């Protein structure tokens, strides 16, 4: 089993010292989905939600969340993000929307948490903006898809 880096030898939580690590390009992709009634999806796609542009607001919320990850997740390092892309795609087959995020930076530690936080908050925002129409919506499948860079190298989810 891999040693947990955020625990001291006595088991206490601490922030890892990354000062000796070299800056490298880091990229992470994550995804999730919001499953909803077909009528709710149609409402969002048509731009008829009472709270406004569901997808536009969720996209901004995801970007903002990525930038605030170190304020939300204990022991995360603040990172100088160079890019955060949030894509929201309606999918009638779910029915619902698929949310995918790519985050990148040149830094000493990875951007996986930023990508996952962005997906989570974008999905939560979609739920919030549509909950008056459909409280039974579900947020599902929030997961890391891939990461690039750093000492541990590249990783990709096998689907």
Catalytic residue among 53, 128, 134, 154: 128
Distance CA 6, CA 74 (A): 10
Distance CA 34, CA 18 (A): 36
**CA-based angle 69:33:144, to the nearest 5?**
50
Distance CA 79, CA 27 (A): 12
Instruction: Based on the residue annotation, tell me whether 17 is a catalytic residue of this protein.
Output: no
Q: Which residues are catalytic?
A: 128
């Amino acid at each position: 089993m891999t040693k947990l880096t955020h625990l001291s030898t006595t088991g206490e939580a601490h922030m890892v010292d990354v000062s000796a690590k070299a800056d490298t390009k880091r990229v992470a992709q994550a995804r999730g989905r919001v499953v909803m009634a077909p009528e709710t999806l149609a409402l969002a796609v048509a731009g008829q939600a009472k709270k406004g542009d569901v997808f536009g607001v969720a996209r901004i919320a995801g970007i903002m969340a990525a930038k605030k990850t170190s304020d939300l997740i204990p022991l995360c390092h603040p990172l100088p993000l160079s890019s955060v892309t949030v894509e929201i795609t309606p999918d009638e087959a779910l029915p619902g929307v698929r949310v995918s995020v790519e985050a990148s930076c040149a830094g000493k530690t990875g951007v996986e948490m930023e990508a996952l936080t962005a997906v989570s908050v974008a999905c939560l925002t979609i739920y919030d903006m549509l909950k008056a129409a459909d409280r039974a919506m579900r947020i599902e499948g929030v997961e890391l898809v891939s990461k690039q860079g750093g000492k541990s190298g590249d990783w990709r989810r096998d689907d």
